[in-house]
Amino acid sequence: MLSVASRNCEGLPVRLLQADISQFRLPLRTDLVTCNFDTLNHLTRPCGARQMIARAAAHLRPRGKFFFDFLTPCPGFPPGRPVRLDAISRNWRLTQILEWRKPELLLAVKVILQRPGFAPRIESHVERLFQPAVVLEWLAESGLCTVCASDAEFGGSLKPPASAARIFVLAVKA
């Protein structure tokens, strides 16, 4: 990914870094940290997710903002049974097979990308689902004030609804 980013940013004043997201150290403080596409959920140990939030806060200037999204234990389908989602175009078929492992708060994900004339590309991984109250507590512990925590699909709510599958969060460093 960094090699692609490097090519895309050629000639621009961009510095690319590779690090463990729960332990990263930036050379400077910044005004904005973003963590998109449920990156937090890819940290399957709660202590890793908590550390990542603390690291993000440590790198923000005063009044700096942290914007991220995460998946909750309300995925919208029953636990223990695989759910298949398909997206199809003229040139490809994308299949996701999701299985919610409720007792462990884990989501097993298998992604299959099929294109005519190519071997299928298959990716499998596990994500941790986090309770909104726990994530908001970690933000407060890290010196971040939650400005907005909203249902990513339906929006408009200033507090995360109990049934939201994905939540967007904007937090500010005091």
Residue 33 tokens, joined = 């940290």
Ranking 43-52, 65-74, 124-133, 153-162 by mean pLDDT, the lowest is 153-162
Q: What is the CATH number of domain 28-72+130-173?
A: 3.40.50.150
The contacts of residue 89 (CB under 8 Å, 6+ apart) are: none
Condensed to tens digits (0 to 9), the pLDDT of residues 121-140 reads 999 999 999 999 999 999 99
Residue 46 tokens, joined = 């709660």
Helix (H) or strand (E) holding 151: strand 144-151
Find out whether 160 and 53 touch, Cβ atoms under 8 Å. no
Condensed to tens digits (0 to 9), the pLDDT of residues 16-37 reads 888 899 988 888 999 999 999 9
Residue 133 tokens, joined = 């109250």
pLDDT at 163 over 80: no
Q: Determine the pLDDT at residue 157.
A: 58
pLDDT at 114 over 70: yes
Report the DSSP beta bridge partners of residue 86.
95
Q: What is the CATH number of domain 83-128?
A: 2.20.25.110
End-to-end CA distance of the chain: 33
The residue extents of the domains of the chain are 28-72+130-173, 83-128
pLDDT at 4 over 60: yes
Q: Determine the pLDDT at residue 162.
A: 66
The count of other CB atoms within 10 Å of the CB of residue 41 is: 23
Three-state SS sequence of 59-127: CEEEEEEEEEEEECCCCCCCCCCCEEEEEECCCCEEEEEEEEEHHHCEEEEEEEEECCCCCCEEEEEEE
Helix (H) or strand (E) holding 50: helix 46-58
Q: Which of helix, strand or coil describes residue 44?
A: coil
For 33, 95, 97, 126, the CA distances from 87, given in Å and listed in that order, are 31, 6, 12, 21
Radius of gyration of the chain from its Cα atoms, rounded to whole angstroms:
18
Ranking 30-39, 40-49, 144-153 by mean pLDDT, the lowest is 144-153
Q: Determine the pLDDT at residue 156.
A: 60
Find out whether 113 and 30 touch, Cβ atoms under 8 Å. no
